[in-house]
Amino acid sequence: MTRLLHLDSSARPGSSDTARHGSHTRRLTARFVARWREREPDAHIVYRDVGAQPPSPVDGHWVHAAFTPPAQREPWMHEALAQSDALVDELLAADVIVAGVPMYNFGMPAQFKAYIDNIVRVGRTFGFDRSRAGEPYWPLLAEMNKRLVILSSRGDFGYGPGQRIAHLNHVEGGVATAFGYIGITDVASVAIEYDEFADDRLHASIVSAEADVDALVARMAASTAAKAA
């Protein structure tokens, strides 16, 4: 049984296929999960909407608590890390993380950055030992075979690799870098473009992205089934 962690981070409520001003990324993540369920009805899905209910930003108390050895933490430190612990537990339990991450001003939404800041945790998702020769940091999730899917959207066009404004796209790279740091390096992505144009190009981009999502699910589900056989 595959365990999917379904994350949405758009500030827009609803999906663009059911609401006039709905979210394109919510549309894509919902489609991904629906297509996966068609292939694996008993897949376990955990849903978290960090767009509607963003995690608390990391503050000084959080940092103090996170870098205090667990056995030495005071009660307030456990409370400061409770939300982060819940997010990390969800991540650790997942085989596939499907994240809806729209582009806001060339990068990820603040809500999703807050999520990343809460899951990149010393002692839980990455290790640190200043006495280690060479590299004092190491990923703790590297051998867990987790896969990340980034489903994005942007108002302009040409943000893909090698395209006209690829250098302005800090979404997929920013997300993949953080997840790679903790050991999740199997990453796939699909995006909708032309949102601000709201014309036939947007429609074509949606159709193309939905087809790409369907194909991605087919490949990933087949690979999962083959490994389980």
Specify the CATH number for the domain of residue 63: 3.40.50.360
pLDDT at 229: 65
Distance CA 59, CA 40 (A): 40
Distance CA 84, CA 115 (A): 8
Question: Whole-model pTM?
Answer: 0.96
Give the distance, in angstroms, between the CA of residue 21 and the centroid of all CA atoms in the same chain. Answer: 22
pLDDT at 47: 98
Distance CA 47, CA 51 (A): 12
Q: Which helix (H) or strand (E) covers residue 187, if one does? A: strand 186-192
pLDDT at 104: 98
CB 115 within 8 A of CB 9: yes
Check the annotation: does 10 bind a ligand.
Answer: yes
CB 15 within 8 A of CB 26: yes
Check the annotation: does 103 bind a ligand.
Answer: yes
Check the annotation: does 223 bind a ligand.
Answer: no
pLDDT at 189: 98
Q: Tell me the mean pLDDT per 10 residues along the chain, length 229.
A: 97 92 97 97 97 97 96 97 98 98 98 98 94 88 97 97 97 98 98 96 98 97 77
Distance CA 74, CA 213 (A): 46
pLDDT at 226: 72
Check the annotation: does 104 bind a ligand.
Answer: yes
Residue 119's nearest CA partner among 44, 66, 78 is 66
For residue 200, the tally of other CB atoms under 10 A from its CB is: 9
Check the annotation: does 179 bind a ligand.
Answer: no
Q: Which domain holds residue 25?
A: 3-228
Question: How many domains is the chain built from?
Answer: 1
